[in-house]
Amino acid sequence: MQSQKTSTPTPDQIRRAPKVLLHDHLDGGLRPGTIVDLARAIGYAGLPESDPDKLGTWFREAADSGSLERYLETFAHTCAVMQTREALVRVAAECAEDLAADGVVYAEIRYAPEQHLEAGLTLEEVVEAVNEGFREGERRAREDGNRIRVGALLTAMRHAARSLEIAELANRYRELGVVGFDIAGAEAGFPPTRHLDAFEYLKRENNHFTIHAGEAFGLPSIWQALQWCGADRLGHGVRIIDDIQVAEDGAVKLGPLASYVRDKRIPLEMCPTSNLQTAAAPSYAEHPIGLLRRLHFRVTVNTDNRLMSGTSMSREFDHLVEAFEYSLDDLQWFTVNAMKSAFIPFDERLAMINDVIKPGYAELKAEWLFQQAVVTPALASGSAAARG
């Protein structure tokens, strides 16, 4: 009998496996039905579809364009319905519920407070509403028999000029549910060095931050994020593959930046399905995550935008299992990588790894020991005759 350590995990096992999510946008993960409800409540008439199923399909098709800029346009509709305290609480609570139902035990969810001020909320009111929603979602998940812990990452938009203000906001709420800072938006023309004052402030305050880099733009974006800005993690970082050469005989040579990223164990927040949609990778089988995992980079698996990509953590793992024949041991490796890279204190990360993640995977890997042997009627009658 083949042990579960070496066999392919089933979709059900993948769903039940404890998972850790570091790169997920709050405004990219709404339920289509919630968007319709919220639009109706505020009189927003801009939705392309009023039926939730058709609306969900529209988001996926609009995002599946091969262009990061077109992909980002879909967020105009989700942000439009996330302008009140009640909407933010609802969206955040449902986010936590949905992730917990998918087996996610720890998540860092990012959003840009500056994009939720059109109805008169202050930056502080936005943060407090989202935090309230996350706590409510954690509570509902517990009632459903699931466990999840959610931390918030406050995002500044790289084309705007409020990054220092948002960094200061993240620092003020660092003991109240906010675990770090991020910048996001189109990379081309908006290098991370435009926001050096925010990153220098966060470093002085000993706070954590990640930077979207190496998704639609190449190695210079990654280099600036690390060497000029001092990022703790790289949001996507998929273009690090441009600094790795693979010869015809399979020999691999890392360039200086790729070597630095691997040697320093800098976490890469990989989002496979999203990368396919924005043409950062041609297919799951050709996604750089396969090579980077073999080379032992600090790779993590993430969803990016669950609505636009029609995905979940389980679906991301499903695709990788199909493309690379990953085992539960591989999925555990990705999950432990992510937990090691989270922005909560070391002792809490260690406890999550030792008390939640490893036991969860050990239980799944041991299930083969308790599978019922299949006995055919012919074998059963033969066995009975032998006993007689």
Selection from 240, 187, 209, 202 nearest residue 108 by Cα? 209
DSSP conformation class of 213? E
| Crossing angle of helices 32-42 and 52-63, rounded to 10° | 110
- Work out the number of other CB atoms within 10 angstroms of the CB of residue 271: 29
**Strand order through the sheet with 299-301:** 19-25, 104-111, 149-157, 178-184, 209-213, 233-236, 268-270, 299-301
Element (H, E) at 21: strand 19-25
- Nearest residue to 272 via CA among 251, 245, 254, 293: 293
- CA 326 to chain centroid, in Å, comes to 19
What are the backbone angles phi and psi of residue 108, rounded to the nearest 5°?
A: -115, 115
- The answer to whether 147 and 100 have CB atoms below 8 angstroms apart is yes
Do residues 275 and 281 lie in contact, with contact meaning Cβ atoms separated by under 8 Å?
Answer: yes
Question: What are the distances in angstroms from CA 363 to CA 136, 226, 331?
Answer: 29, 38, 14
Tell me which of 128, 215, 269, 316 is the catalytic residue. 215
Residue 171 makes CB contacts below 8 A (sequence gap 6+) with: 201, 202, 205, 207
367 catalytically annotated = no
By the 8 A CB rule, do 318 and 287 touch?
A: no
Instruction: State both tokens at 131.
Output: 């935090």
| CA 305 distance to own-chain centroid | 8
C-alpha 245/C-alpha 136 separation (Å) is 48
Q: Specify the 3-state DSSP secondary structure of 383.
A: helix
Instruction: Give which of 278, 256, 244 is closest to 70, Cα–Cα.
Output: 278
List the catalytic residues: 215
